[in-house]
Amino acid sequence: MLNPIAHATAHLALKGLKNVFLIEPLEYLSFVNLMKKSYFIMTDSGGIQEEAASLGKPVLIIRQTTERPEIVEAGAAEIVGTDTTKIIERTVEILDNEILYERMSNVKNPYGDGKASSRIVSRLLKESRSIGLYSERKIESGQEGVGQKPFPVTRAPR
């Protein structure tokens, strides 16, 4: 997926190559699915660097610096800059060196394990139960957690 500024240049240089697909921007889930199916990722986008780490994909960062240094420090990414020779050398090395590929793709995600929202919800429910704001009730189907009482809406004292 190309950023709009790079679009014209990329089309001039890459159009017609059998192993290069120049596509229009995708919806988020489609894009993540495409990243998941890729072998590794080259990007200048900090957000894509984060997503790649979550998917276990090695990343070559096509910039001189990154605002996501954690991924480089963890070993899942490498800053290669914009030098064509260096980009090609590192690409070939990732493609040809299984040990390097495995090392970069099996790094512990520096951005967490993806379970923060579940922990937050659990903590909020626990705390709200402890002060009586929330309780679960069984409904006709006998399932717990369905048909829960909503949190009461009250004004904070002034």
Query: What's the pLDDT at 89?
Result: 97
Which of the 8 DSSP states describes residue 15? T
Question: How much of the chain exceeds pLDDT 90, in percent?
Answer: 49
- pTM value? 0.69
> Taking 60 as the threshold, does the pLDDT of residue 42 lie above it?
yes
Q: Is residue 110 one of the residues assigned to a domain?
A: no
Q: Is residue 140 one of the residues assigned to a domain?
A: yes
- Own/partner pairs, 50-56, CB within 8 angstroms, 24+ separation: 50/111, 52/76, 52/77, 53/77, 53/107, 53/109, 53/110, 53/111, 54/109, 54/111, 54/114, 56/105, 56/106, 56/107
- pLDDT, tens digit, 9 for 90 and up, residues 65-115: 999 999 999 999 999 999 999 999 999 999 999 999 999 999 988 888 888
Q: Which range among 17-26, 86-95, 124-133 has the greatest average pLDDT?
A: 86-95
Examine the domain organization and report whether 98 and 149 are in the same domain: no
Count: domains in the chain: 2
Burial profile 107-135: b = 16 or more Cβ within 10 angstroms, e = fewer: bebbeeeeeeeeeeeeeeeeeeeeeeebe
Q: Who wins on pLDDT, 4 or 7?
A: 7
Q: Which domain holds residue 119?
A: 115-158
